[in-house]
Amino acid sequence: MKTKQNQYRPETVSHPGATLSEKLSEIGMGPKEFAIRTGKPEKTISSILSGDSAITSDMAVLFEDVLKIPATFWLNRQKQYDEALARQKRCETIEQSVEWAKLFPYADMAKLGWVNATRKSVEKVEYLFKFFSIGNKNAFEDYYFNQKLKVSFRVSLAYTKKPYAFAAWLRQGELQAADLNDVLYNEKTLVRNLPRLKELMANQPEDFFKQLQCICLEAGVKVVYTPCLPGATVHGSTRWIKDTPIVQLSARYKQNDIFWFTFFHEIAHILKHGKKYVALENVDYEDQDLEKEKEADDFAIEWTFSNTEEEEVLGCVPLTEEDIVAFSKKFNTHPALIIGRFHHKGLLHYGVGRKFIQKINLSEMA
């Protein structure tokens, strides 16, 4: 999050033609004579004096010869005027974007430290422009809604329920990923590290998320935790930024069984579905591929608690908690993955094994 820079900018900066007019009047030289002495058309000089044309570098040098005022003076005056004009246009753009800024859950973004806290409407616009690295609201829509840059963002959020909140969540993930070291993606390393990730899931040490990040980064996969914004109920996302796969997790329900299933689901997208597919979990969006999502689910099942393993466990009903712990050790998984599956399918009373469904708080680890 960037703090606002306080810079002095004069409210009004006159065109350098006004200064030229004053100087010519001072020395008693008319526009026509000045035009002849500089070798420039009188029309050009008149246009500068009226503020309709800019002083170019070659003109500034000629002005120096005739008026004995350094060319840098004229060029600096022109630069100051051009910047003031640009700032004025910028202010108009910001004023016109106030209603656009109201579409974002700004207060929640500020609470999370994504943007600066402020009650001023124009400052909210400025901070949102900086957060998204855009010049105006049209740029935001072209990027996130109109898919004008498919090499970077290949889905449209236009028809999601909370498009502005989803866009903010995704953008924060990009910024978090940018803070991680860049390592060239290596598919073989990722596949080789899958058993280590499964082992991490089974043991789930207190710093498991940090370890997970490190193991994935060895293969060039960046994993980040980004909490949900109100209404933007996304579980996770996988996308590629240039040649780097990014897995963004929200840990929305703060349950370890759901977290691990979502994580392996996202890893499947990296291994199976290539750079062009963008996955947004628990979000209905235009470019979603249900077949690919099913493949990712199957992969996650295989690496967390497989169907074959499930059948073996079901062959030993009725189950005690001790049975489930024993099976989790045999299959090198966490008891929560077995219990969560059976709760979901109605195969186990909801009250059985709840102690293994652990609450996770990634904000303390990320």
**In whole angstroms, what is the distance from residue 324 CA to residue 210 CA?**
27
Q: DSSP states of 319-340 as a string?
A: P-HHHHHHHHHHTTS-HHHHHH
Shared domain for 219 and 137, answered yes or no, is no
Shared domain for 126 and 243, answered yes or no, is no
| Cβ(274)–Cβ(214) below 8 Å | no
Q: Is 274 left (phi over 0), alpha (psi -120 to 50) or beta?
A: left
Residue 7 falls within a domain, yes or no?
no
For residue 68, give the CATH number of its domain. 1.10.260.40
Shared domain for 192 and 305, answered yes or no, is yes
Residue 154 falls within a domain, yes or no?
yes
Of residues 246, 236, 127, the one with CA closest to residue 179: 246
Tokens 């960037």 belong to residue: 2
Burial class for 168, CB neighbours closer than 10 Å (0-12, 13-18, 19+): buried
Residue 307 falls within a domain, yes or no?
yes
Residue ending a domain, among 126, 145, 176, is 176
Low-confidence ranges of the chain (pLDDT < 70): 1-11, 147-155, 159, 364-366
**In whole angstroms, what is the distance from residue 195 CA to residue 236 CA?**
22
Would you state the pLDDT for residue 104?
96
Shared domain for 169 and 221, answered yes or no, is no
Shared domain for 90 and 104, answered yes or no, is no
Residue 10 falls within a domain, yes or no?
no
Shared domain for 154 and 210, answered yes or no, is no
Tokens 């990730």 belong to residue: 197
- Coil, strand, or helix at residue 102? coil
What's the number of domains the chain is made of? 3
Shared domain for 104 and 91, answered yes or no, is no
**In whole angstroms, what is the distance from residue 63 CA to residue 35 CA?**
10
Shared domain for 210 and 313, answered yes or no, is yes
Shared domain for 212 and 260, answered yes or no, is yes
Q: C-alpha angle 303/366/302, rounded to 5°?
A: 5
Shared domain for 78 and 113, answered yes or no, is no
Residue 260 falls within a domain, yes or no?
yes
State how far the alpha carbon of 156 is from the alpha carbons of 175, 200, 242, in Å. 20, 35, 18
- Coil, strand, or helix at residue 156? coil
Q: What is the token pair recorded at 86?
A: 């640009």
Q: Is 332 left (phi over 0), alpha (psi -120 to 50) or beta?
A: left
Shared domain for 215 and 198, answered yes or no, is yes
Would you state the pLDDT for residue 365?
62
Is pTM beyond 0.95? Reply is no
What letter would DSSP give residue 222? E
User: Residue 199 belongs to what H/E stretch?
Assistant: helix 187-203
Residue ending a domain, among 95, 110, 125, is 95
**In whole angstroms, what is the distance from residue 90 CA to residue 85 CA?**
9
Residue 11 falls within a domain, yes or no?
no
Q: DSSP states of 247-289 as a string?
A: EEE--TT-BHHHHHHHHHHHHHHHHHSTTT--EETT---TT--
Give the structural domain span for 107. Answer: 99-176
Residue 5 falls within a domain, yes or no?
no
**In whole angstroms, what is the distance from residue 142 CA to residue 149 CA?**
8
Shared domain for 153 and 139, answered yes or no, is yes
Would you state the pLDDT for residue 358?
84
Residue ending a domain, among 141, 176, 211, is 176
Residue 8 falls within a domain, yes or no?
no
